[in-house]
């Protein structure tokens, strides 16, 4: 199955760290995969001490929402094409033979990115020319992994970043030295990036009405009217909150504009595994993610028919499709917005989520090495029935391979769109973080 990249026209540990902020708002490795040897960690970028958790109630009326005029933009991306043939004398099998290739996930063990990557890594030794040793490891601090890959990782094909999304916004952030994602060497992408707002145990957490309601049905309410929580509870990573990650901002903006009762938490790490733990512990009840909808019928087949999980809204950038269980429960959140709200939401949610589960080599890696690795991953993920089946079993959908040239072109295109949306994103980041997360302002 082939999955195209989402293109945009946007306009111009829970266990590892302590709870950092609470905002109250009105409205085992696969046996085939060898255990990685110790890898020197990226140079640590020290974060300031996190504030003591506090609960804050926002009583003031929402700040006026800017209303920029939507502008249709259709940039022409001119990607650097991969070298069509290797340089004279290059033998990929001879080159990789005896080497160790590390696939490094920017997520904690146990989450979706981690489990999909481990399944994939278990097969790659037989497909990479020369059959090098392939090991899989984790660096869950996303900015650190990005910066290490950009500035310190070897550029010889032995270090491959495996990311949940392209982290396009890091190329516009001082903490990651404004190093653009397009400077990396793309290898490919595997999964549909469309996101959904998921509610765990609807009746138990929000009351009987949640069994057949959608997100917007709670507009204007101070409480959902029942259940253990009485409001939607979400969590994101401290770095996403502090840096105004656009996807995080899009979630907050949607909840604010719909005027639903919601709380937001910040933790050191919020991957899929941590979310499931927090659901079980009753800390949160919701999450906004891309692949869960397709994974639930495989990982938790009883959750959907028994009503333990409900999709409360599609959150873009594409349209959420049916999974093996059936169609989504609710429609797209953007259908509830006016044109100005839709433009602002798209500007934040769109360009940074154009692809999901992506593979990258560090900037400056030679084209012929990138081409050899791309061919290896493409062959594995499109022809190996055993790998495809095992990948689908953990992802909920078969890998839809998008190759190097298309991913590189889409990265350039969406960086241009993202740059054109910076004024909107910056304005919303300043407003929303100051309103709901004041402890991060000026610190």
Q: How high is the pLDDT of residue 193?
A: 81
d(CA 117, CA 394): 10
CATH number at residue 392: 3.40.190.150
pLDDT of residue 442: 58
Instruction: Measure the CA–CA gap between 172 and 186, rounded to whole angstroms.
Output: 18
d(Cα 406, Cα 190) in Å, to the nearest integer? Answer: 12
In a domain, 280, yes or no: yes
The CA-based dihedral angle spanning residues 433, 439, 440, 443, taken in that order and rounded to the nearest 10 degrees? 140
Which residues are CB-neighbours of 259 under 8 A, at least 6 positions away?
Answer: 26, 27, 62, 219, 220
**DSSP code string of 168-229:** GGGGG-GGGTT--GGGSEEEEEEE---EEEEEESHHHHH-GGGGG--GGGGTT-SS-SSSSS
Residues 264 and 375 in one domain: no
Residues 278 and 341 in one domain: yes
Q: Judge contact between 134 and 103, C-beta under 8 A.
A: yes
What domain count does the chain have? 2
Task: Please indicate, yes or no, whether residues 341 and 367 belong to a single structural domain of this protein.
Answer: no
Q: Are residues 169 and 132 in the same domain?
A: yes
* pLDDT higher than threshold 90 for residue 60: no
For the stretch 421-434, what's the b/e string if a residue is b when 16 or more beta carbons lie within 10 angstroms of its beta carbon? beebbeebbebbbe
Rg (CA), the chain: 21
What's the CA dihedral at 332, 338, 339, 341 to 10 degrees? -80
Measure the CA–CA gap between 211 and 303, rounded to whole angstroms.
13
Is residue 10 assigned to a domain?
A: no
Q: Is 321 found in the same domain as 202?
A: yes
How many alpha carbons fall within 13 Å on the CB side of residue 408? 20
Q: What is the pLDDT of residue 279?
A: 95
Residue 170 falls inside a structural domain: yes
- Does residue 307 surpass a pLDDT of 80? yes
d(CA 156, CA 407): 20
On whether residue 85 sits in a domain, the answer given is no
Q: Are residues 379 and 326 in the same domain?
A: no
Q: What is the mean pLDDT of the chain?
A: 81
Give the integer Cα–Cα distance in Å for 207 and 226.
Answer: 4
Instruction: Give residue 292's pLDDT.
Output: 82
Q: In terms of domains, do 152 and 209 share one?
A: no
**Does residue 99 lie in a domain region?**
yes
Q: Quick one: pLDDT at residue 383?
A: 95
Kindly indicate the confidence band of residue 177, based on its pLDDT and cuts at 50, 70 and 90: very high
206 shares a domain with 187:
no
Q: Specify whether 316 is located in the same domain as 430.
A: yes
Which CATH number characterizes residue 341's domain?
A: 3.40.190.10
- The answer as to whether 87 is a domain residue is no
The distance of Cα 178 from the centroid of its chain, to the nearest Å, equals 19
In order of 111, 135, 139, 140, 163, the CA distances from 105 in angstroms are 10, 11, 6, 7, 6
Average pLDDT score over residue span 24-51? 36
- 407 with 436, same domain: the answer is no
The strand order across the sheet containing 159-163 reads: 133-138, 100-105, 159-163, 356-361, 185-191
pLDDT at 204 over 60: yes
Q: Both 405 and 268 in a single domain?
A: no
Does residue 5 belong to any structural domain of this protein? Answer: no
All residues at 6 or more sequence positions from 117 whose CB lies less than 8 Å from its CB, including other chains: 103, 105, 136, 162
Q: Which domain holds residue 285?
A: 21-27+55-70+195-351+423-440
Indicate the pLDDT class of residue 158, thresholds 50, 70 and 90: very high
Residue 143 lies inside a defined structural domain of this protein: yes
Distance CA 332, CA 318 (A): 9
pLDDT exceeds 50 at position 41: no
Each residue's pLDDT tens digit, 348-375: 988 888 888 999 999 999 999 999 999 9
pLDDT band at 11 (very low <50, low <70, confident <90, very high): very low
In this predicted structure, what is the pLDDT of residue 282? 95
One domain, residues 225 and 305: yes
């Amino acid at each position: 199955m082939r999955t195209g990249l989402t293109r945009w026209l946007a306009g111009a540990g829970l266990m590892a760290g302590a709870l950092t902020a609470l905002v109250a708002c009105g409205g085992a490795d696969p046996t085939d995969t060898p255990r990685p040897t110790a890898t020197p960690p990226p140079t640590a970028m020290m974060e300031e001490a996190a504030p003591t958790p506090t609960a804050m109630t926002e009583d003031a009326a929402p700040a006026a929402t800017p209303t920029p005029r939507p502008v249709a933009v259709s940039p022409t991306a001119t990607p650097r094409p991969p070298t069509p043939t290797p340089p004279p004398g290059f033998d990929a099998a001879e080159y990789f033979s005896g080497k160790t290739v590390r696939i490094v996930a920017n997520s904690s063990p146990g989450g979706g990115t981690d489990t999909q990557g481990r399944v994939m890594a278990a097969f790659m030794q037989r497909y990479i020319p020369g059959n090098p040793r392939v090991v899989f490891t984790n660096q869950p601090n996303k900015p650190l992994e990005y910066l290490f890959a950009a500035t310190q990782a070897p550029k010889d094909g032995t270090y491959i970043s495996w990311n949940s999304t392209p982290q396009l916004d890091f190329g516009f952030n001082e903490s990651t030295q404004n190093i653009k994602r397009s400077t990396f060497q793309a290898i490919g992408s595997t999964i549909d990036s469309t996101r959904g707002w998921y509610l765990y145990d609807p009746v138990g957490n929000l009351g009987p009405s949640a069994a057949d309601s959608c997100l917007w049905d709670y507009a204007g309410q101070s409480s959902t009217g029942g259940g253990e929580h009485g409001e939607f509870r979400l969590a994101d990573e401290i770095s996403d909150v502090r840096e105004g990650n656009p996807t995080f901002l899009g979630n907050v903006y949607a909840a604010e504009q719909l005027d639903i009762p919601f709380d937001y938490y910040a933790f050191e790490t919020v991957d899929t595994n941590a979310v499931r733990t927090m659901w079980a512990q009753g800390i949160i009840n919701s999450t906004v993610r891309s692949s869960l909808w397709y994974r639930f019928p495989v990982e938790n087949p009883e959750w959907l028919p028994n009503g333990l999980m409900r999709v409360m809204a599609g959150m873009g950038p594409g349209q959420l499709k049916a999974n093996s269980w059936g169609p989504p429960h609710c429609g797209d959140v953007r259908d509830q917005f006016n044109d100005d709200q839709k433009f602002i939401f798209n500007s934040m949610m769109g360009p940074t989520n154009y692809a999901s589960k992506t593979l990258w080599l560090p900037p400056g890696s030679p084209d012929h090495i990138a081409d050899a690795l791309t061919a290896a991953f493409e062959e594995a993920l499109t022809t190996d029935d055993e790998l495809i089946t095992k990948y689908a079993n953990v992802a909920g959908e078969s890998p839809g391979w998008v190759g190097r040239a298309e991913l590189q072109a889409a990265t350039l295109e969406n960086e241009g769109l993202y740059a054109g949306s910076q004024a909107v994103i910056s304005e919303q980041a300043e407003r929303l973080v100051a309103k709901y997360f004041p402890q991060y302002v000026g610190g």
